[in-house]
Amino acid sequence: MDSPAPTVSVLIATYNKRRTLQHAIDSVLWQTFGDFELWVIGDGCTDDSAELVASYGDPRVHWYNLPRNTGYQSEPHNEGLRRARGRYIAYLNHDDVWLPDHLERLVAVLERGEADVAYSILEWVLSWRDDYADIPDYPNAPVPPEASATMHHRALIDEIGGWKSPSEVYSVPRAEFLRRAHFAGKRFVLVPRLTVLKFGAETREYGDAGRQAEYMVRIRSEPDFAHGEVAALLARAQHEVERLPSLRRLRRQGLDAVRRWLAGRHIDPARLVFWHRRGRHIRAWRRAHALGPVDVPERR
């Protein structure tokens, strides 16, 4: 007899990142909201990620490995969507970490019927000096929320479709997917809580697992961890506001204003950059992450 469908299906796309994947899974399993299933979808993994997932022995945790590496999250996420049984879909990158109340906070907003897509505040963990909070004023933000901070109704996929291949889009597939939801008139609601830590490539100097292990210990041991992080981020933001603006910041603010204007008129800013080709972003992303090339054709 099949078990009842869970409220949330959590999807983690992964490729040969066993050490960071462990922390991501741990942060799902410590959630205060426990009515979920977790699908870890390998993008043709060749390491021991399958053994790691099996070691949890939790009936909510499932593994599937694609037969070949596709080079990005799109196909692993689409495979997870095909297998998902929950009313809501939540995403977590394999090197990011949720705070324990992430699912509880976002489910509450969706259950009240306030949104089609809920998203929370996310902290980028970069270097010791450069952590910052990502609080996009979506839907007209220059950059949509990160996948690890979002949750949406499962029915959204039936209406707008799943994640597109990098060769089909001008921007990154995650941004294109959320902009497609925005352009379809879906309601986005910010949950004003810090619930996600996103670890940037700059943390590699700390080892294969970056600073995830350090932060996992802090979250477990510091009762006011989230409040302390937000206070530190606000102090850094105040310092930045009081400084004379750099040319780089002025340039970024000007470009963001243009992107915001375009997004508010249902025009994807990425399409107006004339040197962009579909598939270009995935090639640049893989180079930045020291990954080999994949068969992703560039198209106009």
Q: What is the pLDDT of residues 190-239, one digit of tens each?
A: 999 999 999 875 544 444 556 899 999 999 999 999 999 988 888 877 87
Average pLDDT, the chain: 85
Long-range contacts for 76-82 (Cβ within 8 Å, ≥24 apart)? 76/11, 76/13, 76/14, 76/41, 76/42, 76/43, 77/11, 77/13, 77/41, 77/162, 77/163, 78/162, 78/163, 79/41, 80/9, 80/11, 80/13, 80/39, 80/41, 81/11, 81/157, 81/162
Determine the structural domain holding residue 274 and report its residue range: 8-288
Q: How many domains, the chain?
A: 1
Residue 40 within a domain: yes
Q: How far apart are CA 151 and CA 107, in angstroms?
A: 8
Cis ω for the linkage preceding 139 (within 30 of 0) = yes
Residue 231 within a domain: yes
Pair of tokens at residue 143 = 């950059």
Residue 1 within a domain: no
pTM value is 0.86
Q: Which one has a higher pLDDT value, 122 or 258?
A: 122
**pLDDT at residue number 205:** 47
Q: What is the mean pLDDT of residues 45-60?
A: 96
Percentage with pLDDT > 70 across the chain: 81
Per-residue pLDDT reduced to its tens digit, 69-109: 998 899 999 999 999 999 999 999 999 999 999 999 999 99
Q: How far apart are CA 172 and CA 180, in angstroms?
A: 12
Q: What is the mean pLDDT of residues 110-114?
A: 94
Q: Residue type for 221, please?
A: S
Residue 298 within a domain: no
3-state DSSP helix/strand/coil percent for the chain, to nearest 5?
40, 20, 40
Q: How far apart are CA 146 and CA 59, in angstroms?
A: 28
Tokens 């907003």 sit on residue: 109
- Contact residues for 19 (Cβ-Cβ < 8 A; gap 6+): 208, 209
Residue 41, strand partner residues: 13, 64
Any idea what DSSP says for residue 206?
G
Residue 93 φ/ψ, nearest 5 degrees: -65, 150
Residue 236 within a domain: yes
Residue 297 within a domain: no
What's the N-to-C CA distance of the chain in angstroms? Answer: 50
Is the pLDDT confidence value at 281 over 80? no
| Cβ atoms of residues 80 and 11 within 8 Å | yes
Residue 296 within a domain: no
Q: What is the mean pLDDT of residues 34-55?
A: 97
Q: How far apart are CA 95 and CA 210, in angstroms?
A: 9
What is the three-class DSSP state of 118?
strand
**pLDDT at residue number 294:** 55
Q: How far apart are CA 136 and CA 164, in angstroms?
A: 22
What separation in angstroms does the CA of 238 have from each of 132, 234, 241, 250, 277? Answer: 12, 6, 5, 17, 38
Is the pLDDT confidence value at 169 over 90? no
Residue 197 within a domain: yes
CATH number of the domain enclosing 104: 3.90.550.10
Any idea what DSSP says for residue 278?
B
